[in-house]
Structure 1
Amino acid sequence: MLISHQKNNIVHYTYKGALLLLFSLLASSKHANSQSFIKSKFGKGIEISAPDSSFSLKFGTRFQTLYEGSTNSESKEWDDRFLIRRARLKFEGFAFSPNLEYKIELGLSNSDIGSDTPDRTNDADNVILDAVAKWQFAPNWQLWVGQTKLPGNRERVISSQKMQFVDRSLLNSRFNIDRDAGLQLHHVHALGQVVVREIGSISMGEGRDITTDNAGGYDYTARVEVLPFGEFEGEGEYVGSDLAREETPKLALAASYDFNDNASRARGQLGSFLGGERDLQTVFVDAMFKYRGFSAMAEFANKEAPKGPVVTSEEGVPLGTFVTGSALNLQGGYLFDTNWEVAGRYTTYNPAQATGLREQQQYTVGLSKYIVGHSLKVQTDVSLIEEAGRDEVYQFRMQLEVAL
């Protein structure tokens, strides 16, 4: 229980400190100079701009309240839980010049921070999600420094606030490369109406908030994205559902490659720390399409460990396995004029045979009501989960999202 107690203290003091910082900034902006500019809007947070344009700060907070229940075809027993799925504090703006932007995001719920089970001490517990500076040093070029999401699969880069379903798919939970600390170089250019984006990154490879020396090698990621019909409204290629109701068809096609040199965690940047290291190679291919309320997204992922995924002791006893294999996710939905949306999703997960993990297929139907876009919404979905060698599972989820 000591671990859980310490974690609760961390969350309490982090939240308290963030609020004190916000109130101090608001007070100083009022009294130091009456020309300081403050604006606010529901879903957009509170924004402060210095009178000399030397910095800006936007503060926002959000949370998700989730009910989840499930039963299987054999026992018929109903197991459920009610929890705060996510609780976040976010700070962003620019410092010194609009060309130098920053973002800080803190996660406060147990699901955000890490394991809430005391005996899983080899999982990393952390509060900082993002802490990154973004420097536009030339037209169409940005250098990112710090900790943030790697340019991996589209579903992972989409904010958890802006998802089409209650949560991300099985493909994402098994193979995403999440967040890491390091450098990213972003470039964008246009060829007529076609927009092309390239991203390259070098990061530590162990995931967020790791303070020990690098256990293995670095992680290298590259991503190329093509928008053949031009840019989406409001960066809609990274927003679930077609809330902008695109007037013309919009399409985004992308591919990413990630190489994690001597990874030490079961899923690269995520999962338990294993007693050995392996090179991991991951390929993602994805697409997003939107037109007049209809949206569709497809993703494929494949992860390999060339030297084999299973880690064994000197005596040959298995110690754990890296999660390798492939997965496919297909989803689509239609947003009615009333801002109700009906969506469907199919995901198949095929782990490498050597891992001993079980194949799964999931069929999901979702219903969402967008009250104020993704800032205030109610989402629910029902899933059929088929896992090799086990009974079918039926899952029901309902979630409220509030973002200020």
Structure 2
Amino acid sequence: MAKGLLFYIKILLLFCTLGIYITPAMAQIIVDPEEENDTTQIMQAIPLAFSQVPYFTYGQGLGIMSPDSLFLMNIRFRMQNRAGFTFTEGENTQIEARVRRLRLRFDGFVYSPRLSYVIQLSFSRGDMDWDNTEFPNVIRDAMIFYRISPKLILGMGQTKLPGNRQRVNSSGDLQFVDRSIVNATLNVDRDFGIQATYSDRLFSNFYYVLRGAISSGEGRNIIATDGGLSYTGRVELLPLGRFERFGDYFEGDLIRERTPKVSIGISSSQNNNTLRTGGQIGTLLYEPTDMSTYMTDWLLKYQGFAFASEFLYRTSPMALTYNEEGNVRYVYTGLGQNYQASYIFYNDVEIAGRYTNLAPGSEINAMTPTIEHYTLGVTKYLKGHRVKIQSDLTYENRIFDPAAGRLNNNNWQLRFQVELGI
């Protein structure tokens, strides 16, 4: 009897010892990012009986899945370290040296792949909109999504509104050091509310995407309410088929589309009783007002060549607001145009050019100039948009209205940036 008991004890110890070595080995699965392995397939390849700890994957970030497969979290980070020099006529050279963006992102699902989430946090001062909000605005995205069907997704929380393409594209997926001044001035940015996305095929290879949002209209992490809401809608048409690997949501043709691909986007946003100069962005107005923003964009990619254009137009029935002392703060009304073209060589070096024109409306043209930008950019992609070195040179022409009594001026801006992320 004692010998038999001793035998079973030895077997039990053997299995325990094997478990100690097998569990970490099964958990430390290293995935080649180039292979783009599907997380679900990876997890299914791991026998549940061999592990009682979370599974780790290394591909598009660090993936962690619970042993019961009811929870998945993917962790990513990225940073943009930038140096810039602005040379203005008759003035000292301005130097920019800072961490422009530092982001931490979490995404995954809870209980079911149909119930997913996205969380994104920012940590650099300029990225937290500190100057306008006067507090560390850390939360950028906090969204819960539910996929009702393969074609329809609903979401609630705070994230980007379905506005112009350049704004919807991640700041980590740009082919210049930063977005254009048209986007910085007229975009509708992030907001808290509910969103819906529906995509389908119209006929043959012609696809379309419908996006809509009802939001607070005050921007991210603003708790003040004014009784008005913002309504945003967008239509995207893809007459030549879908882009490979969602290539319509990052700049430059890094995929080198094998056939011509085109996307046409039309967006509109109505923000009622807004409290900020840019609706969801900007400083506080002296009194609430309404504003309407209309946007259209075009995108073409084919065999390394890419061309994109955007038109943004904003109106307001009361663009100027005043305080008791007579000081004025205004909604930027007017038209913005942006055009950019690029080609990426087989050594992953890209040359890009951009022309931008931002013209104020008649209500405010005495207070702010028309601005033109001519930009030439060079990017070396080391690992796509995740790891890259960028530099661009911009000539800026500022044209003031003669009634403003100010002389036109121009300046040059040289910027250099290194981006690293997972």
TM-score (norm 2): 0.84
CA distance in 2, matches of 1:121, 1:93: 32
Change in 2 beyond 3 A, CA 1:402/1:57: same
Matched, 1:397 2:412: no
2:355 match: 346
Give structure 1 stretches of 5+ with no counterpart. Answer: 1-25
Residue equivalent to 1:45: 61
Aligned residues: 367
1:35 Cα deviation (Å)?
5.8
* 1:34 CA drift (Å): 3.5
Aligned to 1:354, the other structure's residue is in SS state: coil
1:36 matched to 2:54: yes
Corresponding position of 2:125: 110
Aligned residue in 2 for 1:204: 216
**How far 1:121 sits from its partner (Å)?**
6.8
Larger-Rg structure:
2
Code of the aligned partner of 1:164: Q
User: d(CA) in 2 for partners of 1:123 and 1:264?
Assistant: 15
How do 1:2-41 residues align onto structure 2 when only pairs under 5 Å count?
A: 33-34=51-52, 36-41=54-59
Do structure 1's residue 183 and structure 2's residue 199 form an aligned pair?
Answer: no
1:77-156 matches, within 5 Å, as 77-115=92-130, 123=134, 125-156=136-167
SS at match of 1:395: strand
The yes-or-no answer on 1:325 pairing with 2:330 is no
Alignment of 1:61-76 (within 5 A): 61-75=77-91
Q: Which runs of 5+ in 2 are unaligned?
A: 1-26, 29-49, 400-406
* Per-residue CA distance 1:139-183 (angstroms, 9 max, x = gap): 300001100000000000000000010000011011010000000
For residue 365 of structure 1, the aligned residue among 364, 367, 376 is: 376
State whether structure 2 residue 230 is matched by structure 1 residue 219.
yes
1 CA distance for matches of 2:379 and 2:135? 33
Cα 1:126–1:61 shift into 2, 3 Å = same
| AA partner of residue 100 (structure 2) | R
1:158 maps onto 2:173 in alignment: no
CA shift, 1:81, in A, is 2.1
- State the distance in 1 between where 2:78 and 2:411 align: 31
Deviation at 1:333, TM superposition (A): 0.3
Following superposition, the deviation at residue 202 of structure 1 comes to 0.3
Distance 1:216 1:319, change over 3 A: farther
Tell me, yes or no, if structure 1 residue 269 matches structure 2 residue 285: no
Report the Cα distance in structure 2 between the residues aligned to 1:386 and 1:321, rounded to whole angstroms. Answer: 22
Matched, 1:386 2:404: no
Is 1:309 matched with 2:319? yes
CA distance in 2, matches of 1:174, 1:298: 16
- From 67, 70, 80, the equivalent of 1:54 is 70
Partners of 1:74 and 1:391 within 8 A in 2: no
C-alpha distance in 2 between matches for 1:273 and 1:100: 36
1:319 deviates by 2.8
Distance 2:368 2:57 in 1: 51
- Residue 393 of structure 1: CA displacement? 0.5
**Counterpart residue identity of residue 138, structure 2:** V
- The percentage of aligned residue pairs carrying the same residue is 36
Q: CA offsets, 1:239-292, max 9 Å, x none?
A: 011111100000000100000001110000000011101110000000111000
Deviations along 1:293-336, one digit per CA (max 9) or x if unpaired, are: 00111000000002x20002367x24311111110000010000
* CA RMSD between the two structures: 1.9
Question: For residue 251 of structure 1, what is the aligned residue in structure 2?
Answer: 262
Deviation sequence 1:349-380 (CA, Å, 0-9, x none): 00112222211000000000000001110000
Alpha-carbon distance in 1 for matches of 2:68, 2:248: 35
Greater CA drift, 351-360 or 341-350: 351-360
* Partner residue in 2 for 1:293: 304
Give the 3 Å change call, closer, same or farther, for CA 269–125 of structure 1 in structure 2: farther
Shift of 1:33: 4.4
Q: Distance in 2 between matches of 1:121 and 1:219?
A: 20
CA distance in structure 1 between the partners assigned to 2:187 and 2:81 by the alignment: 24
Partner letter of residue 61 of structure 2?
A: G
Change in CA separation of 1:128 and 1:147 when aligned onto 2, cut-off 3 Å: same
SS at match of 2:363: helix
Q: Distance in 2 between matches of 1:288 and 1:144?
A: 26
Aligned-partner Cα distance in 2 for 1:134–1:350 = 38
Q: Secondary structure at the match of 2:280?
A: coil
Find the aligned partners of 1:98 and 1:269 in 2 and give their Cα distance: 31
